[in-house]
A and B are shown apart, each in its own frame.
Chain A
Amino acid sequence: MADEHGRKWDRCLADTAVKTVTGISVGIVLSVLFFKRRTWPVSLGSGMGLGMGYSNCQHDFRSPYLLHGNMVKDQ
């Protein structure tokens, strides 16, 4: 069970890295394409990537604690 933590971390980091890179790359692309090579899409993208990754990571780490409820309609 302890491996899962490690796995989670692995996943998390990998995912974050991917997202970040993806963000950066999208930023770069966008910056190149649309925003005249400004750095702000890259940082935006990287930030968005990081954030997404971080959020994913957090969510991944939280996932055991999340409660899912179901609405039971009276019928």
Chain B
Amino acid sequence: AQYSLSPCYVSLALYKCLYGRAHPTNLQHHRHYTSGESSGAAKVVAVGLVTLGSSIGGTVLYAKWDPKFRTAVEKNIPYSDWLLGMALGPNPYSPVTAHKKQVSKFITPKYPTTPPDLTTNPLSRIASLEESLASSAKTTLQAIGAQEAALQAIGSHTHKLKEAMEAEVPPDQKSAQWRDLETALAERRSTVNDAGAALLKARDALDSLRSVIDKAKESKVAAVQPLVLAAEENLHSMVVDLDQAVTKVQSAESEAKIVSQYTELVNEAKRQFQKELSSLTPEIQANWKGLTGKLSADDLNALIAHAHRRIDQLNRELAEQRVREQVHIEAALEQQKLEDQKALDKAVHTATQHSKEEARLEQERKLSELREVMEAEMRTQLRRQAAAHTDHLRDILKVQEQELRSEAEQVLNSKMLEQETHYRQLTQEQLDNFTLDMNAAYARLKGMEEAIDSHVIAEEEARKAHQLWLSVEALSYTLKTAGSDLPTKPLESAVQAIQDSCCNNEFALALASALPEESLRRGVYSEASLRSRFNSLRSMVRRVALIDESHNSLYQYFLSYLQAALLFEEKQAMPPTQLTNEDLDPFKLLSYASYCLEHEDLELAAKFVNQLRGEARRVVQDWLTEARLTLETRQVVTLLSAYANAVGLGTTQAP
């Protein structure tokens, strides 16, 4: 089946492991299951669901156990936070809430109480006090002003009314007066209203001030109290003034009322009179005050009669009134008394209140003064105490200072000592190091100097060797300058050069001085010239071969000449390594020597030639000396050059 369910196979394998083939039925069982096509899909779905559920459950469980994992999951997988929140509750470690908590924690401690509560802020208290005081003072002043204005207005109105009532002014001015009166009345009304409003405002302000003062009194700050006291006093005075103004106004009003009543009565009387007058004289409608020449005599009479009648009536009324006067007066007195009493009570009440207030204020003032005094006293006492305390402290501090100073000095000294020793040590070390370094450097310098010197010496040596070599080369070159038959240049200069160049080289000097004088003075012959000379000498030697010390007559000469003519020897015969007696024959020697000369062995040739005896020897003596000279020189030069080469080799440094 394509539904290769791995768990199934695993369990299959497991079964196989565990039970081997003992339970084929199980296998069959499984195989039956695996081979079933219809149950395969269901199995897939079931397994898928189980897997999903187990993964989700596992995630949830692990998130419950590890909050960091939970936050990670919530961050990465959307809607997981909803699921996890549902399953486990809110995440205690979520970064957002933590942030919020932090934020709230940060915000809340700053403002634990509501800002407008200024109980703990005396300055603002004072400010509010002052402000309310100022405002209330303003309003009170305004009220008082209004009251005064009202008073004025009332007074003026009353006065004007009185004037209007009593003054006998000509009728044409009466209307003006009445108009004035009306304006005054209107003014009075307005001012009274204003005063009333201002009074209300002032009372409100004073109430607020009182409340503020009360609130201020609750504060325990001492600096506020005198201000509060002052404010209270101000308040009291304002209240008093206000009340005074109000009473004044009220009295004025009462007076005005009386006057107005009076005016009303007067007006009524006037109206009555007018009515009567009009009833009497119906034609005259106009203001009787304005009339002057319009009335006739009858009218006047009627008027006078009416007036008389009216006067009688009034007199009667007056008498009646006088009679009732007492009663009226008593009643009025009673009323007045009552009113007075009321007013008195009120006044007393206000006065008592005022006095109470004053007393309280006085008390408070006294209290504050006392408090101030007390506080001053206390302050002085405290100051004294503080002074004593400071003295005591000063003493103690002095003592302590001494102690500490000594201690510190000790410590300082010890530290200084330590530091000094350390410093000394360091300096010593430094010095030592420096000395060491200097020594090392000096040694190195010395070494270097020596090396340089030795180098210089070596160079010098090399130069000298070079020079020597050069001079030796020059010398050997001079050897070559021998002409065919001429000697070389005198070697003197070259030798001089050598001697100059190796002034402190004994060996070379010795060698240089070992050169024979002749070569120095005259130069030496070259080998070729010697060879050629020898060839010419050879015949001579042959001719005098027989001549020696004993045989040297002319006859011998003749014989030797004969021998030379007749004897033939080899031109050149190779000399044997060892000479025998026979080899000492001149002719043989000559041939040997010739052979050697031909083979450029001058030395051997000279040796052979040296074996000649007798006259032959005498004949070749010159040649022999020359040859010897040449040989010597050559030997010396060879030695010198070898020496120079050796020295040069020795001094040249291999690259």
Contact = CB atoms under 8 A, between A and B. Distances in A.
Interface of A: 1-2, 5, 54, 57-58, 61-62, 64-65
Nearest to A58: B554
B619 interface: yes
15 contacts: A1-B620, A2-B537, A2-B620, A2-B622, A2-B623, A5-B540, A5-B544, A54-B554, A58-B553, A58-B554, A61-B552, A61-B557, A62-B552, A65-B548, A65-B549
B134 to A, nearest CB: 163
Q: Is the interface of A mostly helix, strand, loop or mixed?
A: helix
Contacts of A2: 533, 536-537, 540, 619-620, 622-623
Given A1-B619, A54-B554, A61-B615, 5 more contacts: A2-B540, A2-B620, A5-B540, A61-B552, A61-B557
B553 A62 contact: yes
Contacts of A61: 547, 552, 554, 557, 615
B338 to A, nearest CB: 203
Contacts of B248: none
A64 B618 CA distance: 9
B594 to A, nearest CB: 15
Contacts of B536: 2
A58 B554 CA distance: 6
Contacts of B537: 2
Interface residues on B, range: 10 to 19
Contacts of B533: 2
A57 B547 CA distance: 14
A8 to B, nearest CB: 10
A72 to B, nearest CB: 23
B621 interface: yes
A10 to B, nearest CB: 14
Contacts of A65: 548-549, 552
B621 A1 contact: yes
4 closest residue pairs by CB, A with B: A1-B622, A65-B549, A62-B552, A58-B554
Q: Which of B548, B552, B619, B620 has the most chain A CB atoms inside 10 A of its CB?
A: B552
B619 A5 contact: yes
Interface in B610-638: 615, 618-623
B552 A1 contact: no
Contacts of B619: 1-2, 5
Contacts of B553: 58, 62
A36 B620 CA distance: 52
Contacts of B557: 61
Nearest to A1: B622
B554 A1 contact: no
Interface in B310-340: none
Contacts of A58: 552-554
A7 B557 CA distance: 15
A5 B554 CA distance: 13
A60 B554 CA distance: 10
Nearest to B555: A58
Interface string B533-572: 1001100100010011100111001000000000000000
Contacts of B552: 58, 61-62, 65
Nearest to B536: A2
A5 B552 CA distance: 13
Contacts of B544: 5
Interface in B457-496: none
Contacts of B621: 1
A57 B623 contact: no
A57 B540 contact: no
A61 B552 CA distance: 7
Interface centre among A1, A2, A54, A61 (most CB of B within 10 A): A2
Contacts of A57: 554
B149 to A, nearest CB: 182
Nearest to A64: B618
Nearest to B624: A1
Contacts of A54: 554
Contacts of B554: 54, 57-58, 61
A65 B618 CA distance: 10
Nearest to A65: B549
Contacts of A64: 615, 618
B260 to A, nearest CB: 200
Nearest to B548: A65
Contacts of B620: 1-2
Contacts of A1: 618-623
B558 to A, nearest CB: 11
A5 B561 CA distance: 13
Nearest to A67: B549
Interface string B514-546: 000000000000000000010011001000100
